[in-house]
Copies of this chain bind each other. A is one copy, B any other.
Amino acid sequence: MSVEKIKRIGVLTGGGDAPGLNAVIRALVKTAIRVYGWEVMGILDGYDGLLTPGKIKPLTLVDVRGILHRGGTILGTTNRTNPFSVPRKARGKILNVDESEVAIHTVRKHKIDCVAVVGGDGTLLLGNRLRKKGMAMVGIPKTIDNDIKATDFTFGFNSAVTTAMCAIDKIHSTAESHHRVMIVEVMGRNVGWIALYAGLAAGADAILIPEIPYDAREVAKKIREREADGRNFSMIVVGEGAMPKGGKRIYYKAEGSDKYGRLGGIGNYLAKQLSKYVENEIRVVTLGHLQRGGSPTNVDRMLGMRFGHEACRLIAERKFGYMVALRGDDIVDVNLEDVIGVQRAVPLDHPLIRLAEDIGTEFGR
């Protein structure tokens, strides 16, 4: 790739929905056009937009009006398309075909000098692979799970925590009125950030996260201690990837379960376990996709805007293969090679875990 001036950029959003995506797109389009004088092309439905004809369209200032406060992404998204392995029918069979050259070709054909890829670990990894084949790109990290390495937070996380916290707040009074144990299962397939933050913020009595395999008896003990203390109800927050000590993750319980919603995830499993040890009525609420939707919080709108704005600077500086990241209150650049493929779990010595245990929260260890 020659060192010619950038004239036109593209932007795509991939992976699961996250509040703040439109804030990213709006800031990126406005900055690109107003500050740098670039044209911007919207690539629809993630990488599918690079493989399917007719899915690239100009993005103007008019297109990004009135979208800042909206959930979802005006570009569409998918977490299914991998340009290096596309299922195609051939001679009556489904074969996975490497169509990365098609993607590269599409980008060139549209004279897109650089693509801003907004996505989670998987989406960024694919972007980086395409870069090596000739597609200039920069990354913008997106994950409500907050599991991307090298960025303190990503947009979407605060909104997900807010949704979960408000739900737990709502359920609290029912737990108290009915003297029940309420289990709220929140997102976080591999990491416990949402559970930790939402649980702490909502005053949960126990928080179970993938990073700390739990002993159901310890949770039951906490419930009984509260009873002895005159508090005959308990609120338990469990991340979907949590697992019992010595057990294994059960969130992929049934074949195809993910497709139709989870048929009895860890929340229900925990309920069964606890019913052996405590007398209380137990109820489970699984928040699921609620956590990916809704108008973004101010935290996520700001972070999304900052990422979109700084991604333009990355492009202007031709720092291809880098992504923007939040460090403290600053936006920094990070080499994708140092980041992707590594998950950012909650460290066991995280100050919030110590805080939580100090004020009496049970982690089941």
Contacts and interface: CB of A to CB of B under 8 A. Distances in A.
B70 A309 contact: no
Contacts of A165: 298, 301
A365 B188 CA distance: 39
Interface string A62-103: 000100111111001111100000000000000000000000
A285 B289 contact: yes
A286 B178 CA distance: 21
Nearest to A354: B309
A302 B174 contact: no
Contacts of A31: 358-359
A290 B285 contact: yes
B173 A69 contact: no
A355 B35 CA distance: 10
A183 B27 CA distance: 23
Copies in the complex: 4
A217 interface: no
Interface residues of A, number: 91
A336 B171 CA distance: 31
Nearest to A263: B264
Given A30-B360, A31-B358, A355-B309, A271 B275 contact: no
Contacts of A302: 197, 200-201, 352
A78 B178 contact: yes
23 contacts: A17-B178, A34-B359, A69-B202, A69-B203, A71-B172, A76-B179, A152-B328, A161-B298, A183-B261, A201-B298, A201-B301, A259-B275, A259-B282, A261-B267, A261-B283, A261-B284, A284-B288, A285-B288, A305-B359, A306-B351, A306-B352, A328-B329, A331-B351
